[in-house]
Structure 1
Amino acid sequence: MNLHFTKNDQKSMFLPRKVVDSIPFSSKDLPQIYNRFSVKPDSMEGQDMKQTLNECENKGIEGEEKYCATSLESMVDFVTTKLGKKVKAISTEVNAKESTPLQKYKVELAKKRGGDKVVVCHKQIYPYAVFYCHETVATRVYAVSVVGVDGMKVNVVAVCHIDTAKWNPKHLAFQVLKVKPGSVPVCHFLPEDHVVWVQY
């Protein structure tokens, strides 16, 4: 199996909370949002923005607390409300300048981080930084050092979902692994631009 750790070319940055609070963030306001950022509705960017808003407005899975953070301040507020003030953010670090497959790799070190309650924030496609954050329980986070035979080293975050009983049976993980919801833990590496918050 080859591991691909991709570099995200979209470099949208966080705006201050004061600024984003003055910008509509709702699918019903899409025409106004498109106009504000000079985006054509039928363009790829326009469709990505619509998808991000839909994902933020959709109901999460049962037992999951979700929130779309549109500023760093709002992300920290959500995280500390769920996990308390003693938290640490960790993410995957890719040193390569571009997407590189890691072939014939070995795991050098895997170290558990925090407890079984974490907040994972996934970067969305939007003109400014938006993260889809969700609190997960029965989840374990590991910091993993992976080394390829060519010497390339990547420090990645691995997330293991211990209880998948309430997941959608059509979830890609079940199709790939050929297992049923709740039968086995599901683990995956996180891309570089996603953040995991753990307690310490």
Structure 2
Amino acid sequence: MNSLVLLILVAAAVAVHANSAYDTPAARFWEKALPGTRMPEAIADLAQEGTDHSPLKEHRAAPYLLPSECLRYGVGCPSGSKAMPPGLFFLETQARVGSTMTVSFSPAAVPPILPRDAAKTVPFGNLADVLATFNIAASSGEAEKIGNTLTACKTSVPGEKMMTCTTSVEATVESAVHMLVAGGKNNDDGVVWAAASGLSRHGLPRQAYVLDAVTALDGDRHVACHAMPFPYAVFQCHMTDERSKAYTMTLQGLQGGAHVGL
């Protein structure tokens, strides 16, 4: 039976990891939809935060990793965008235990994940409606990022078979599973499991890191979901062609710092 992988790329929001984080409707849905696959702690915490501190009541602007539409090696970047910062991409040949590479991730704070019922009540797709709902000035930098997200969610990217944007854990899992199954030959079924980045919201300072461990993720097909700039959590999920590979890596900074899993 084939193995299908859902990769969710987010920064860990808060170090709560309380048992209650696994008792939300989203967590219970996850257990039923992906049996045997524990919801990653970063996702569980964001779902719990979306219940306890809903962006609908406690909106706050947050820094984001990058203009999201520029993450795919510069494909689809708006005109006038800054050059891709160094230390974000690397060659597959560098992914070897004992090798060193210069890595850098800016600080990022992913907003809370709304419960599915709440996400259905708020606007998505119309910039003016979003800005009005969250009282965001149209001339602000946050408004520009939100507009870029809405544009990216409507734009197909060359080389990608399928892409969609989702606003809840449930929608993310359902969309990813649909893409994974539909992307196979003859719509064959498979075992779906998930992995998430362990990157801290504080990011990684630019320096040389040694690779302590590198593991290729077992899976015939992969769907990656990236957090997008928005007042509440929005994920852009996309499935690339069969040549794509996914790895987990453990890094250790040569100038100090804890082990980081990516």
Which letter maps to 2:221?
A: K
Alpha-carbon separation, structure 2, partners of 1:111 and 1:76: 24
Q: Show the counterpart of 1:21.
A: 120
Q: Across the two proteins, how many residue pairs are aligned to each other?
A: 152
Percent identical pairs in the alignment equals: 26
**1:83 Cα deviation after fit:** 2.6
1:160 aligned partner:
none
Alpha-carbon spacing, 1:136–1:98, altered in 2? closer, same or farther (3 Å):
closer
Runs of 5+ unmatched residues, structure 1: 157-200
Query: Aligned equivalents of 1:100 and 1:63: distance in 2?
Result: 31
**Hey, what does 1:126 align to over in structure 2?**
230
Q: Per the alignment, do residues 53 and 99 of structure 1 end up closer, same or farther by CA in structure 2, a change over 3 Å counting?
A: same
Q: How does the TM-score come out when normalised to structure 2?
A: 0.53
Amino acid at match of 1:143: T
Between the aligned partners of 2:142 and 2:203, the Cα distance in structure 1 is 22
The AA in structure 2 aligned to 1:34 is L
d(CA) in 1 for partners of 2:215, 2:159: 29
Distance 1:42 1:73, change over 3 A: same
Q: Which has the higher strand share?
A: 1
SS in 2 for 1:94: coil
**Structure 2 residue runs without a partner (length 5+):** 1-100, 182-189
Distance 1:96 1:50 in 2: 23
RMSD: 2.2
In structure 1, C-alpha distance between the alignment counterparts of 2:147 and 2:200, rounded to whole Å: 32
Q: Aligned runs of 1:32-111 on 2, under 5 Å?
A: 32-83=129-180, 86-94=191-199, 97=202, 99-103=204-208, 105-111=209-215
Q: Return the structure number with greater relative CO, CA threshold 8 A, min gap 6.
A: 2
Q: Aligned letter for 1:154?
A: V
Q: Is the CA contact 2:212–2:252 (under 8 Å) kept in the aligned structure 1?
A: yes
Residue 96 and residue 53 in structure 1: after superposition, are their counterparts in 2 closer, same or farther (change >3 A)? closer
Which has the larger share of helix? Answer: 2
